[in-house]
Chains A and B, each alone.
Chain A
């Protein structure tokens, strides 16, 4: 089974600054997808960004970008120009491209605090 590790239980960033959240994973597969989800206090799970393992180009979505290092099995999330609304729990997740149910496998999460 694939494991996803988020080594930072908590992170803090000042408004307008940049922060990077770390994620590593363990897999023997070559084809898979990686995700970052945001969970604000409302509990809603919100997809932030998605990366396809067969694409070398790092995904970007506005202020959010990833650094995908396939050989190192690393998938970090960079948040630029941090805003108060970015404060939330962030989960890294892995999904196999093999049709075995396509369940997401989550890390334990990183709580991001944004200070004014």
Chain B
């Protein structure tokens, strides 16, 4: 049981380049999330999805797009990377229940934009 898998784990981009981060979960969770973690800022929600084909903006959505074409996958795209997007990105998934026990995080992707 892999849980939540993020690819890639590390990436260096040049300013203006584009890339897609992939998040895959095998727990049949309805909800999925993308967070970014910056020093001294905690984890901030970028976008989330409550089901296949649906996405919504979080706290810091600018410069990112997402898609959830399949229930198990949640993609985070950067169309034109900027140095301000240098961060560690975490994906998480959760079942559709209020208890919060099933919240599962991936191991993170460290992205550097130069």
The chain A residues found within 8 Å of chain B, CB to CB, are 1, 4, 6, 9, 33, 35, 42-45, 47, 50, 91, 95, 97, 99, 101-109
**Which residues of chain A have C-beta atoms less than 8 A from B44's C-beta?**
106
Q: How far is the CB of B23 from the nearest CB of chain A, in Å? A: 14
Q: B42 contacts A104, CB within 8 Å?
A: no
| Number of interchain pairs (Cβ within 8 Å) | 57
B43 at the interface (CB under 8 A from A): yes
Return the chain B residue nearest A47 by Cβ. Answer: B103
Q: How far is the CB of B110 from the nearest CB of chain A, in Å? A: 8
The chain B residues found within 8 Å of chain A, CB to CB, are 31, 33, 35, 40-45, 48, 50, 56, 58-59, 88, 90, 92, 94, 96, 98-101, 103, 105, 107-108
Give the distance in Å from the alpha carbon of A50 to the alpha carbon of B107 in the complex: 21
Starting from the known contacts A43-B108, A103-B48, A104-B45, 7 additional A-B residue pairs (CB-CB under 8 Å) come to A33-B99, A33-B100, A45-B90, A45-B105, A101-B48, A108-B40, A108-B42
Return the chain B residue nearest A31 by Cβ. Answer: B98
Q: B100 contacts A106, CB within 8 Å?
A: no
